[in-house]
């Protein structure tokens, strides 16, 4: 299978880039399955039902969330009615929606998608992501019912993401980090056959501070004083993420390439 994962969609600039370019990339790269992280698509804070629809209508097969999962209150209801939206497995014991689901790709093959939140440097304590993911991997062995498995690891720390990559090695097709909004250059196939990338980067305007208009974050760093609210940067977004090819029989990754399209970052394609 040919699978693409795109990192955190950041505000209107990110949504526009998704709407305008996802259909083209889907056909140009003959993609079988697309996962998009949507946790910042609505004003940089969470995802509204309307904006989830925008991303799904552009061609995403699955939308993942993150620590901002329920910043937009209507997601509390929306996620119960829209199974293509996944929240972190370990967000909270009482959160609505699901943290893992078996999807059917357009070619009929089954794809497991799961998301976990990290614990290191996160704003509030979440349950252990490793023990949260273990039963999901156990019940969906690669090459069995699931032809491929994609794990979105939503963490601040690179170390925690790398550890999760090795934890899933041989048991997932792709382990990809999100949350930091800056793409890393370490796309690789791990020894057990899992495609891995520490961070997918964001789908947003990179002439910014991690997707926010740079004036206010710079003011806070330089003077230590807040003045205004953060607003997403409005320039042309780069779609940033990763492309992976998997073996239909084993579910393991045969090839992985970081991808970037449009905006300020250097282009990269499969």
Rounded least distance, CB 60 to Fe ion, Å:
16
Residue 66 sits in the site that holds Fe ion (CB under 5 A): yes
Chosen residue from 15, 161, 179, 260 binding Fe ion by CB under 5 A:
179
Question: Is 166 part of the annotated catalytic residue set?
Answer: no
Question: Virtual CA dihedral for 197, 30, 18, 261, nearest 10 degrees?
Answer: 60
Which residues contact residue 196 at a Cβ distance below 8 angstroms, ignoring those fewer than 6 apart? Answer: 162, 165, 169, 174, 175, 176, 186, 187, 188, 189, 190, 256
Chosen residue from 32, 61, 67, 160 binding Fe ion by CB under 5 A:
67
Rounded least distance, CB 180 to Fe ion, Å:
8
Rounded least distance, CB 65 to Fe ion, Å:
9
**How would DSSP label each residue in the chain?**
-EEEEE--BBHHHHHHHHHHHHHHHHHHTT-SEEEEE-TBTTTTS---HHHHHHHHHTT-SEEE--TTTTSSTTHHHHHHH-TTEE--TTS-TT-SS-SEEEEE-TTS-EEEEEEEE--TT-SS----HHHHHHHHHHHS-BTTTBSEEEEEEE-S-HHHHHHHHHHHTTT-SEEEEESS-S--S--EE-TTS-EEES----BB-SSSBTTB-SHHHHHHHHHS---S---B--SPPBEEEEEEEE-TTT--EEEEEEEEESSSSPPB--
Residue with smaller CB distance to Fe ion, 41 or 56: 41
Chosen residue from 2, 3, 8, 243 binding Fe ion by CB under 5 A:
8
Residue with smaller CB distance to Fe ion, 70 or 193: 70
Rounded least distance, CB 166 to Fe ion, Å:
22
Residue whose pair of structure tokens reads 């690669």 in the numeric block: 142
Choose the stretch contacting Fe ion; rule: CB under 5 A; options: 44-52, 102-110, 171-179, 236-244. Answer: 171-179
Catalytic member of 68, 140, 179, 181: 68
Residues 107-166 that bind Fe ion (CB under 5 A): none
Contact 77, 44 (CB under 8 A): no
Choose the stretch contacting Fe ion; rule: CB under 5 A; options: 58-66, 84-92, 125-133, 165-173. Answer: 58-66
Residue 44 sits in the site that holds Fe ion (CB under 5 A): no
Residue with smaller CB distance to Fe ion, 193 or 204: 204
Choose the stretch contacting Fe ion; rule: CB under 5 A; options: 123-131, 134-142, 173-181, 230-238. Answer: 173-181
Choose the stretch contacting Fe ion; rule: CB under 5 A; options: 40-48, 94-102, 128-136, 163-171. Answer: 40-48
Residue 199 sits in the site that holds Fe ion (CB under 5 A): no
Chosen residue from 3, 21, 26, 40 binding Fe ion by CB under 5 A:
40
Residue with smaller CB distance to Fe ion, 95 or 250: 95
Residues found near Fe ion in the complex (CB under 5 A): 8, 39-40, 66-67, 179
**Enzyme catalytic residues:** 68
């Amino acid at each position: 299978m040919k699978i693409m994962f795109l990192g955190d969609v950041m505000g209107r600039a990110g949504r526009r880039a998704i709407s305008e370019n996802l259909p083209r990339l889907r056909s140009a790269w003959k993609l079988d399955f697309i996962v998009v992280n949507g946790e910042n698509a609505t004003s940089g804070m969470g995802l509204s039902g309307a904006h989830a629809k925008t991303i799904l209508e552009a061609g995403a097969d699955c939308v993942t969330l993150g620590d901002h999962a329920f910043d937009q209150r209507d997601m509390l209801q929306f996620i119960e009615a829209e199974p293509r939206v996944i929240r972190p497995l370990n967000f909270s014991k009482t959160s609505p929606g699901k943290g893992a689901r078996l999807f059917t790709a357009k070619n009929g093959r089954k794809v497991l998608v799961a998301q976990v939140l990290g614990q290191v440097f996160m704003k509030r304590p979440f349950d252990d992501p490793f023990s949260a993911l273990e039963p999901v991997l156990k019940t969906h062995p690669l090459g069995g019912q699931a032809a491929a498995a994609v794990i979105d690891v939503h963490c601040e720390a690179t170390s925690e993401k790398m550890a999760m990559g090795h934890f899933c090695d041989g048991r997932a097709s792709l382990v990809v980090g999100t949350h930091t909004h800056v793409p890393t250059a370490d796309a690789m196939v791990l020894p057990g056959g899992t495609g891995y990338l520490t961070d997918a980067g964001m789908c947003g305007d990179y002439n910014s501070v991690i997707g926010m208009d740079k004036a206010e974050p710079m003011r806070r760093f330089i003077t230590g004083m807040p003045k205004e609210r953060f607003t997403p940067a409005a320039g042309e977004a780069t779609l940033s993420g990763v492309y992976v090819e998997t073996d239909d029989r084993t579910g393991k990754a045969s090839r992985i390439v970081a991808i970037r399209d449009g905006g300020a970052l250097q282009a990269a394609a499969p």
